[in-house]
Structure 1
Amino acid sequence: MPFRLHFGDDDLMRCRFAVSPLWETQEAVRTLRRPDRHGYHPHWLRRIREAAEGLDLAPLWLLMPRRGHSPDFLGPPPIGPAAVFEEEIAQVRAADPGAAREDLARALADTPGALESSRARVMLADPERAVRELADLLEAAWHALIEPEWPRLRALLEADVAFHSRRLAEVGLGALLPELDRRLSWDGRTLTVDWPGEHGRDLDGRGLVLMPSVFSWPDVISGFDPPWQPTLVYPARGLGGLWVRRGAEAGEALVRLLGRGRAAVLAALTDPASTTALAHRLDLAPSSVSAHLTVLRDAGLLTSRRYGHQVLYERTPLGMALVSGG
């Protein structure tokens, strides 16, 4: 049952990319409670364990149902292509209490048992206080969990935006959208997201924000009800090399496990790359690299995605763990 976004003529000209430190903060908090999201982030999880234990994140987790509505005002679409956290959290603090209460009530209704909790009753009874306390908690989470790693995260997200902006110029919006994730399809006027539930929205000239995310993986997220600009959040490319030291060569243990050629190919995939690019990077014949890639993919160490006429390969969480020794 899909999620559909219907484009008009004006919407096709009003799509933009954005990066949001506030969104990454919110999704990092969600990731702490989602083991299915841990695959690419074991090193980060180890580094922030003590800091996370010092935060009471329960009020935020109460508003993060596995399926259903999360409060839009806590992670609104970025106000610009290079938003900073201080600007975004100020927008959260400025939320209208009445609208925030409706937003909170929808999220709590989608979280099993949440409406019966004392925390939920306090939030709904005093939404102005709830906005203030939730913003304070998000700011504390930013400083503890994300800010120390933000240069690394921002570099990955901005590289994704640069890559897909070039693709947009080369192939156009209709061809780009299915390249962002295999769960997206385009029929010329409607973007369909393969997602549980049935929902449709006309963009009504607002266009669409396209936002890569590190911590939203493996989900594709779409939504934001009026007055927010419709937004599509997709997993950023290059996650397989995010926490791996750049330029690292295959260790001897990896060589013994996989063989020198396959170990070199796996280690060289610090970002998504084609067979030709890897062959040039490693000074190997493309046929040899292709054979290694096939074996590594069949073993679950790589995944492949088509971008236009190219097939790009990227490490899976298992492949990343082997390279990093994690």
Structure 2
Amino acid sequence: MMRLHFTPADLRQITLAPGPIPLWEIVVSVHRLRLPATVGPRHRFGLNGWEREVGRGLRARAGVLLDLIPPHDYLPDFLLQPSTGDLAEGIELATRAPIAQISADLSTLAAHREAGRWSFELASDAPRARQTLARDLRRYFDSSVASRWPRIQADGLADRALRAETLLRGGVDALLATLDPQWHWQPPVLRIPFPGAWDVDLGGRGLVLVPSYFILGPLLMEQPDGPTVLAYPIYRGEQPVSAADTLGPLLGRTRAAVLAALRDPATTTSVAERVGVSLASASQHAAVLRNAGLVSTVRMGGAVLHTLTPLGSTLLRSDSLTT
């Protein structure tokens, strides 16, 4: 379990990245393809064909990137340049990273796998090695990511709008509670499923949230002199069949079903009956949706009545159009 510990200063300094970072999408997509098929929630709409196509020729597409992006949880920090706005800038910063940082990252990488000859050349600051890295970053993006980049950018803008609206209507608690259905916000700690135990003190420097199209799980980058950066799976609502299918990746299937059940206002008891869950479960899900600004609750004598807010209605609108 990864546990991110927030101070009041951190909660005041949560920012949303403008969108997916091209360099990160290169790194996490190669990492995704190198992981065993049994690892991670791979059921992402529209990516099975991409995985088959790119995976078959990965060595030719990725080149030396395979020496830097192994099939385990460690990724070299010098490849992750969170402040970059475009691919050219990201490649420039990655290939001009200080040799001390590159050597430290490669030493950590060597603890997980045997280093190749090219890695030694890069660690020795050979100019040709840096040129090869720049070439293969561009080649992989052009051959494997570029055709999807307009869609990635569009999904990133939609995700950012959704997160911003959630923040405006429900505050920081709502934003952190709905980043991913498997992540749990229990103030002041965000708990994220992760191998082993890892406690991260944000230290009052804040948090930058970055949506990612190809990522399978959390990607965290700590910066000694800046905010911690956390990449999370982008929200994608394509190919909806029901509210649970549309919103399940964001809210969780049961919570999405509770939201859909409130197209008509209902008491907690009625919600439990409509969804087929216990009264306690319906109450808990309604509370999370209320904190996220998706549901409004008023007390009526001994019962409470739940109704959709405008944001909740907007999230369900695409589902109603397809049924």
- TM-score after normalising by structure 1: 0.67
Q: Distance in 1 between matches of 2:24 and 2:50?
A: 17
Distance 1:120 1:85, change over 3 A: closer
Query: Residue 6 of structure 1 contacts residue 202 of structure 1 at CA under 8 Å; is this kept in 2?
Result: yes
Deviates more, 1:93-102 or 1:64-73: 64-73
State yes or no: 1:22 paired with 2:23.
Answer: yes
Structure 2 counterpart of 1:62, from 67, 77, 91: 67
1:272 is paired with a residue whose SS is helix
RMSD value over aligned CA atoms? Answer: 3.8
What is the aligned partner in structure 2 of residue 317 from structure 1? none
Q: Distance in 1 between matches of 2:154 and 2:22?
A: 12
Q: Distance in 2 between matches of 1:271 and 1:183?
A: 16
What is the aligned partner in structure 1 of residue 233 from structure 2? 235
Q: Distance in 2 between matches of 1:276 and 1:200?
A: 33
State yes or no: 1:96 paired with 2:98.
Answer: yes
2:203 is paired with a residue whose SS is coil
Distance 1:206 1:136, change over 3 A: farther
Q: 1:230-269 counterparts in 2 under 5 A?
A: 230-238=228-236, 241=238, 266=241
Distance 1:294 1:220, change over 3 A: farther
What is the aligned partner in structure 1 of residue 49 from structure 2? 43
Query: Residue 33 of structure 2 contacts residue 55 of structure 2 at CA under 8 Å; is this kept in 1?
Result: no
Deviation of the 1:268 alpha carbon: 8.7
Distance 1:77 1:229, change over 3 A: farther
Q: Distance in 1 between matches of 2:65 and 2:82?
A: 18
What is the aligned partner in structure 1 of residue 121 from structure 2? 122
Deviation of the 1:230 alpha carbon: 1.1
**AA aligned opposite 2:106:** L
Deviates more, 1:268-277 or 1:160-169: 268-277
What is the aligned partner in structure 1 of residue 279 from structure 2? none
**AA aligned opposite 1:180:** L
**AA aligned opposite 1:234:** Y
Query: Residue 26 of structure 1 contacts residue 138 of structure 1 at CA under 8 Å; is this kept in 2?
Result: no
What is the aligned partner in structure 2 of residue 319 from structure 1? none
Instruction: String of CA shifts for 1:239-271, please: whole Å, max 9, x gaps.
Output: x62xx6xxxxxxxxxxxxxxxxxxxx7289885
What is the aligned partner in structure 1 of residue 205 from structure 2? 206
**AA aligned opposite 1:32:** L
Query: Residue 27 of structure 2 contacts residue 69 of structure 2 at CA under 8 Å; is this kept in 1?
Result: no
- TM-score after normalising by structure 2: 0.68
State yes or no: 1:108 paired with 2:110.
Answer: yes
**AA aligned opposite 2:10:** D
Deviation of the 1:122 alpha carbon: 3.2
Query: Residue 3 of structure 1 contacts residue 198 of structure 1 at CA under 8 Å; is this kept in 2?
Result: yes
**AA aligned opposite 2:155:** L
Query: Residue 34 of structure 2 contacts residue 71 of structure 2 at CA under 8 Å; is this kept in 1?
Result: no
Deviation of the 1:210 alpha carbon: 0.7
**AA aligned opposite 2:4:** L
Distance 1:216 1:227, change over 3 A: same
1:69 is paired with a residue whose SS is coil
2:75 is paired with a residue whose SS is coil
Query: Residue 213 of structure 1 contacts residue 236 of structure 1 at CA under 8 Å; is this kept in 2?
Result: yes
What is the aligned partner in structure 1 of residue 194 from structure 2? 195
Q: Distance in 2 between matches of 1:170 and 1:32?
A: 37
Q: Distance in 2 between matches of 1:200 and 1:6?
A: 7
**AA aligned opposite 1:114:** E
2:147 is paired with a residue whose SS is helix
Q: Distance in 2 between matches of 1:182 and 1:95?
A: 36
Structure 2: gaps of 5 or more residues: 249-255, 277-284, 296-311, 317-323
Query: Residue 30 of structure 2 contacts residue 69 of structure 2 at CA under 8 Å; is this kept in 1?
Result: no
Deviation of the 1:100 alpha carbon: 1.5
Q: Distance in 1 between matches of 2:48 and 2:80?
A: 24
**AA aligned opposite 2:221:** G
**AA aligned opposite 2:230:** L
1:159 is paired with a residue whose SS is helix
Distance 1:106 1:228, change over 3 A: farther
Identity fraction in percent: 28
Deviates more, 1:61-70 or 1:133-142: 61-70
Deviation of the 1:46 alpha carbon: 4.8
- Aligned residue pairs, count: 268
Query: Residue 68 of structure 2 contacts residue 76 of structure 2 at CA under 8 Å; is this kept in 1?
Result: yes
Q: Distance in 1 between matches of 2:228 and 2:242?
A: 38
Deviation of the 1:156 alpha carbon: 0.8
